[in-house]
Structures are given as C-alpha cells and as structure tokens.
C-alpha cells in the first residue's frame, strides 16, 4: 500500500504523509467514545419509541455537610509507611525464596569445602629422597667406548641393563660433538651418561644439562669396580637426600596450612557473592520504575532506605547464624567453643 501511494503521490495530489503509532491512551479514549455514542443512540431510540422528549435530565446529588476525609500525617503516617515497606520486602523475599536459600547455602558450602580440603592437606617439612638411576629419564642413551674385551667393559654393560639403550662408539667426545651439531635438543633429553675404559683408566662421562647426571655417571662406574672386585650380586645404591627447606619455603608452607587464613579467604569470597544478591531487588525496583512510583506517592526517603537496611540486616543475620552453626558442627581448632565462635563472628 505504501509503495503504491509513493508511486502515485503526484496523481493523488498528496504532498507528504506519515505513519504514527497509536498510544494505549488514545485506544482507550477511542473505545470509550464509541461506547458512549452507542449508549447515547440506544437511549435516544428508546425515548423516541416511548414518546419521551430528549430534554436534558438533571440529577441533583446532595452531599451531607458532616462528610469528611481523614488523612494520616506525622508519626502515624511514618508507622504506616514502615509497615508497608516491611510487607513489600517480605512478599518479595517470599516470591524469590531461592535467592534467600542461595545467600545462606553458598557461604556454608564454601566453608565446608575449605575445612575438609585443609584437613586432607599434609604440610611438607622436606622432600623424599631420590634414588640415582637411569629409570626417571625419558629413553636414555648411554655411550660406552674403550677396549671391548676389558673386564670392566662387560660389567658396565650389565650395570646399564637391557632396559636402556647402550651404544658402542670409538670416541665419546667426537661422537657427542657430532650429535650436538646435528640435534642439540635430542642430546639434551636422551644422552645422559657414558663411560670409557682402557688398560689404566676408567672415565665417567655425563651431560651437564639434565639433573643428577654427574652422580649417576659416577655411580655406574663405581658399581662396575665394586662388582668386579667383589661379586656380581653386590652393588652400591646412590641416593640423593634433599637439603632442608629454606626459611621462605617454610613460611609459605606454614601460611598455606593456617586454617584461619583459608577460612578468611573463603568467607570473603563467599560474602562477595552474597552482597551482590542484595542489590538485585533495588535494581529491579529501579528498572521497573517501582521506586520512582513510591517516592511520587509520598513515601519518606528515610523510611524507604531505613526499612531496606533493616530487612537486609535480618537476612544477613540468618546467613551469619548458618555460618556459625557450621563452624560449631565442624569442631575445627580455634572455632569450637562459644568464646572462639564469638571472636570469629567479630
């Protein structure tokens, strides 16, 4: 229709046109006017049929002189507004009961998880001892050079074992230079130790990049001498005992193991979510213009915000009571007796 109107605008003699959206108020006024017209037509028709003239009918309403309206003011008005605001918060909380349950359950759940996880944590005073062997390394390759018929040569091969790769080379230094030139990362990851034997000397070779390579290389050569001297069934086990923890690590470990520190972090994290739930109601009132309507209707600002504060404090007390009951049920050190719970509540 609009496209046809645009094409024939000159023939129709139309200079301009527009389209507007009818408001809801105009719709009701139009419906009311049409309804009044229908009633007027029916009234005139009935009067014509009955022979009654269409003269105006006057109706006189007498108002009693003693009729008066009483309005609240002063302190009774404040009390009435206070009761209305409390009922508003009560019914709103009743409708959104799941938010109240979440406000109470979230800190309690986080508290339980924190305490139970902290109970299962065992602080480390030191690290376990480490046995020096080729097993912890990823596919290690051991180089061996020297006189193949030397007695220490075969004993060293047995020490390395069949589970790890062993390569015979003519010169370890030349071979390592070649391998490092071709692929340095491969040498760093896999070529850990080596050994060379001659008539008078046994040399232990090791890669300087991997951890514990030097004691591992020395242990293999010394075990070769030990087994060759005594018996094949005898061996020496090399173990690396860790140094004591430094003072900084001990303090960090102690801080992590402090139950009060963990509980403080958990409660701060949980109450941050709880605080966000309180603002949802006021955002909803602002968006729906309900707060503006209340102020326009005459609600006192102090009564409005004071009632909101008191109602929020009641729900906050419910959350704190649930947290204190959880503390008492867990019976954690420092949160057992009423005095200790009173300190934590403060």
CATH number (domain holding residue 190): 3.40.50
pTM of the model: 0.45
Distance CA 261, CA 240 (A): 35
Distance CA 230, CA 223 (A): 10
- Does the residue 263 lie in any domain? no
- Does the residue 141 lie in any domain? yes
- Does the residue 206 lie in any domain? yes
What six digits make up the tokens of 154?
């075969």
- Does the residue 289 lie in any domain? no
The stretch 43-64 carries a mean pLDDT of: 54
DSSP state of 51: T
The count of structural domains within the chain is: 2
b/e burial code for range 19-28 (CB count within 10 A of at least 16 → b): eeeeeeeeee
Same domain, yes or no, for 41 and 143?
Answer: no
The residue out of 33, 50, 67 marking a domain boundary is 50
Question: Which of 72 and 51 is assigned the larger pLDDT?
Answer: 72
Distance CA 285, CA 267 (A): 29
The stretch 39-48 carries a mean pLDDT of: 63
Q: Which of 30-39, 135-144, 244-253 has the highest mean pLDDT?
A: 135-144
The stretch 210-239 carries a mean pLDDT of: 82
User: Residue 172 — pLDDT band, cuts 50, 70, 90?
Assistant: confident
Same domain, yes or no, for 46 and 134?
Answer: no
Per-residue confidence (pLDDT) for residue 310, from 0 to 100: 92
Q: pLDDT tens digits for 204-217? A: 888 888 888 888 88
Same domain, yes or no, for 137 and 42?
Answer: no
- Does the residue 291 lie in any domain? no
- Does the residue 301 lie in any domain? no
- Does the residue 117 lie in any domain? no
Share of the chain above pLDDT 90, in %: 3
Q: Note down the domain range covering 190.
A: 130-240
- Does the residue 216 lie in any domain? yes
Q: What contacts 227, CB < 8 A, 6 or more positions away?
A: 155, 158, 159, 234, 235
Question: Which of 311 and 125 is assigned the larger pLDDT?
Answer: 311
Per-residue confidence (pLDDT) for residue 64, from 0 to 100: 55
The residue out of 191, 207, 240 marking a domain boundary is 240
The residue out of 217, 240, 263 marking a domain boundary is 240
Same domain, yes or no, for 231 and 141?
Answer: yes
């Amino acid at each position: 229709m609009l496209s046809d109107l645009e094409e024939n605008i000159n023939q129709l003699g139309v200079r301009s046109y527009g389209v507007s959206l009818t408001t809801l108020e105009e719709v009701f006024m139009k419906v009311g006017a049409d309804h009044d017209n229908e009633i007027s037509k029916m009234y005139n028709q009935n009067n014509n049929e009955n022979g009654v003239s269409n003269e105006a009918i006057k109706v006189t309403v007498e108002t009693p002189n003693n009729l008066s309206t009483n309005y609240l003011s002063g302190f009774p008005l404040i009390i009435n507004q206070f009761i209305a605001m409390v009922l508003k918060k009560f019914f709103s909380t009743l409708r959104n009961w799941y938010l109240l349950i979440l406000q109470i359950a979230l800190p309690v759940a986080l508290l339980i998880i924190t305490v139970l996880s902290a109970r299962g944590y065992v602080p480390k005073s030191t690290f376990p001892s480490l046995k020096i062997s080729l097993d912890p390394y990823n596919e290690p390759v051991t180089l061996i050079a020297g006189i193949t018929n030397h007695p220490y040569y075969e004993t060293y091969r047995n020490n390395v074992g069949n589970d790890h790769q062993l390569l015979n080379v003519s010169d370890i230094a030349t071979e390592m230079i070649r391998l490092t030139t071709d692929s340095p990362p491969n040498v760093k990851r896999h070529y850990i130790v080596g050994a060379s034997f001659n008539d008078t000397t046994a040399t232990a070779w090791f890669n300087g990049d991997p951890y514990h390579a030097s004691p591992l290389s020395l242990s293999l050569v010394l075990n070769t001498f030990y087994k060759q001297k005594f018996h094949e069934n005898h061996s020496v086990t090399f173990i690396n005992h860790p140094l004591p923890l430094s003072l900084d690590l001990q303090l960090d470990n102690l801080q992590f193991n402090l139950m009060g520190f963990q509980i403080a972090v958990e409660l701060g994290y949980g109450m941050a979510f709880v605080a966000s739930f309180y603002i949802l109601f006021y955002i909803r009132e602002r968006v729906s213009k309900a707060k503006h309507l209340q102020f326009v209707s005459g609600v006192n600002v102090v009564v409005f915000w004071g009632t909101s504060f008191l109602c929020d404090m009641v729900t906050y007390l419910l959350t704190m009571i649930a947290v204190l009951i959880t503390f008492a049920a867990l019976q954690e050190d420092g949160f057992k007796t009423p005095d200790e719970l009173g300190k934590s509540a403060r």
